[in-house]
Chain A
């Protein structure tokens, strides 16, 4: 869902005002239409994930604080293997015409700006042109990627998920595909999942409420210290097996996963698209423990501790230079905690991560060789605090502050400042669900997000995707995003 735009900012910026006015007029017209529609609609049209809403007849707001984010009822439903546990979960109870598929895409208008980008002093380059720092701005109507989501039960206590997903140019991959045996021996504490799936992150990046290029990811979930060849991101779906369990209201949960050391790649590579590099034969481990407490009228407060321990290859067995198998595995880990705190209509999501890579990963050299001088095991501390205020089930206000500090650079050098790679990010926005039918959902989404990265481009990869001319320079990358997020 994230894209880079070409370096054509000078021309675009001059013509920026006109599309903005057009967009504003269009937005006003749409809002007026929506307002009239919403006001005339019965309130029962307040609802969300259509595949399950259609199956069980529940409003989507039953499972989502604001879709796609799950509330506790939705979490229990998910933990139970997409079952309500009311003897109506097996497909034999479904209407034969029911088919468990949902579509999601977001037509949008967005504007991306990045500062301190190296651009040609003479457009087109050529003789006499040098690279100079400049702002780059791009804007226009656009599409997000698309999710074609299917999930449900194959039988009582056997559930599945299949999620082919595309980028805006319709290049498809399998975002997730798994089967799960639920409630083994009648116990909710034993559930076994097999396939490609999202890690048990209390604060899910797959079901969160931000969509813009900069705000649409948690930077911490994908961060690696600059220079490290580690490609791990805790927000990325991984491939392997998971054993998990929970109590009846999911106030106590655990998960233990054994995963291939290939960042969820398929075809025994490190990518779920063609062109991935051969993966190693090693495995990673992830475990998470979650506990919630009820604070009466305030709501429940949930906390999670997690740890991921993995390996990545530092060189490859090759044939004529073509990698065949990753070798020389060196370790890394990520540990931290997360929270989901409720204060009536206000929800706060704190998150913290400490990351550590082996020095060979940081230096990017085969572990069969000696480390270069100045190489260190890189470390970082990252985290965010996200706030959501639910004016009603149909309107949620959003905000987030995120910070990542590199504790130890991969190389100690006079040319590399101590804050090289540090990230500071802010996002605000709101989602309004003007018409939320029980069989589909529409959200009117507005968001502004800005990220500052020292000496590098933000993880979101927007802007021109180029680091600044000097490693001491900060790159401010901002996104304005307006769109209709719909789900059927």
Chain B
């Protein structure tokens, strides 16, 4: 066989193999599409809008296959092949229920919320921060994630929560926040010291029945939905839908919410203004403080 014949054979063989490979890939790719019976829009037309960017679900679909499918699954239901080993479980996009939102409990998040979640990741889970993806790629992913549930076509995102300016950080604010921590029974799940070891902690499950642990404030500097005081404010005013963490928007006033933020900061192992104030107060008045927990008088310090 001459070299020329060999080259021709190789080229034809390669073309045939590429054709077979491409056919195989295409044959698989349709499995990733949302089920039409769910009423989902066609993937190619779905969009997201983040600032000046427009995300396209058609582009996001390829990205989803590359980055997300292992955990969130080919059907977007959080049952990817790795899901069985992951705790907490990956989000089920078909329910369109999201923890980190700027919108009221029970409503859909904004595109920006989903974009922020992809960008930030979830610190206490296997979901990494996807900053290495370009902003456009993240916007495309948001557009595609929204194709998994008909809720996105039947309804709109809720109105983002209006967060008032933060109140001054004072010892009075911290003490009032501590009082709220007791009165709202936050300690039942998060524990008297915020270690996530309250008496109800071991009984908690998410809305799919999976065991879920309350946040341990002593474990680090970041929260699931952000790092700033505004993020913390937003978490307990919107709640974490799908988890036992409710919204307290109807229970506490904005100023009280800031007080609670200031107290929660004292539970973290960080050097903050709140922590400095709290340490100084405890050094002087520690003996006067009533412990948080079932034995404390309602609303007592």
Contacts and interface: CB of A to CB of B under 8 A. Distances in A.
B29 A87 contact: no
Contact of B22 (A88, A391, A446): A391
28 contacts: A24-B9, A39-B24, A43-B65, A43-B74, A45-B81, A47-B70, A57-B85, A58-B128, A62-B66, A72-B132, A84-B126, A84-B128, A84-B129, A86-B123, A86-B127, A248-B131, A294-B136, A296-B135, A391-B22, A391-B25, A392-B22, A394-B21, A394-B24, A394-B25, A397-B18, A432-B21, A444-B17, A480-B10
Given A85-B128, A480-B10, A43 B18 contact: no
B3 interface: yes
Interface of B: 1, 3, 6-7, 9-10, 13-14, 17-18, 20-25, 27-29, 31-32, 59, 62, 65-67, 69-71, 73-74, 80-83, 85-86, 121-136, 219-220, 222
Contact of B131 (A47, A58, A76, A394): A76
Contacts of B121: 84, 86
Given A24-B9, A39-B28, A250-B132, A434 B73 contact: no
A124 interface: no
A395 B134 CA distance: 22
Interface string A83-112: 011111000000100000000000000010
Contact of A62 (B23, B27, B70, B123): B70
Contacts of B20: 31, 35
A286 interface: no
A480 B27 CA distance: 29
Given A57-B85, A73-B130, A75-B132, 18 more contacts: A16-B1, A24-B13, A39-B27, A39-B28, A44-B70, A62-B70, A73-B67, A73-B132, A84-B121, A85-B129, A88-B125, A249-B131, A294-B134, A395-B21, A430-B21, A438-B70, A446-B10, A480-B10
Interface string A22-55: 0010010001001100110111111100000100
B131 to A, nearest CB: 5
A188 to B, nearest CB: 12
In the A-B complex, list the 3 residue pairs whose CB atoms are closest, starting with the nearest. A57-B82, A59-B70, A432-B21
A86 B129 contact: yes
A245 to B, nearest CB: 16
Contact of B32 (A38, A43, A297): A43
Nearest to A61: B66
A392 B28 CA distance: 11
A294 B29 contact: no
Contacts of B6: 20, 111, 480
A72 B7 CA distance: 36
Interface string A367-404: 00000000000000000000000011111010000000
Contacts of A111: 6
B13 A27 contact: yes
Contact of B17 (A20, A58, A62, A446): A446
Nearest to A42: B74
A59 B66 contact: yes
Given A39-B27, A88-B126, A62 B134 contact: no
B126 A432 contact: no
A448 interface: yes
A438 B31 contact: no
Contacts of A269: none
B29 A43 contact: yes
A122 B31 CA distance: 63
Q: Among the interface residues A16, A46, A71, A446, which one has the most CB atoms of the partner chain B within 10 A?
A: A46
Interface of A: 16-17, 20, 24, 27, 31, 34-35, 38-39, 41-47, 53, 56-59, 61-62, 71-73, 75-76, 84-88, 95, 111, 113, 248-250, 294, 296-297, 299-300, 391-395, 397, 429-430, 432, 434, 437-438, 444, 446, 448, 478, 480
Nearest to A45: B81
A86 B83 CA distance: 17
Contacts of A438: 70, 81-82
A46 B27 CA distance: 13
A35 B24 contact: yes
Q: Among the interface residues B131, B134, B219, which one has the most CB atoms of the partner chain A within 10 A?
A: B134
A31 B17 contact: yes
B129 A296 contact: no
Nearest to A480: B10
A75 B83 CA distance: 24
B28 A43 contact: yes
Contacts of B69: 43-44, 46, 59
A393 B29 CA distance: 11
B119 to A, nearest CB: 10
A44 B9 contact: no
Given A20-B1, A86-B125, A393 B66 contact: yes
B128 A86 contact: yes
A430 B128 contact: no
Contacts of B32: 43
Contact of B133 (A45, A57, A73, A446): A73
A72 B133 contact: yes
Contacts of A71: 132
Nearest to A64: B66
B14 A446 contact: yes
Contacts of B17: 27, 31, 430, 432, 444, 446
B1 A395 contact: no
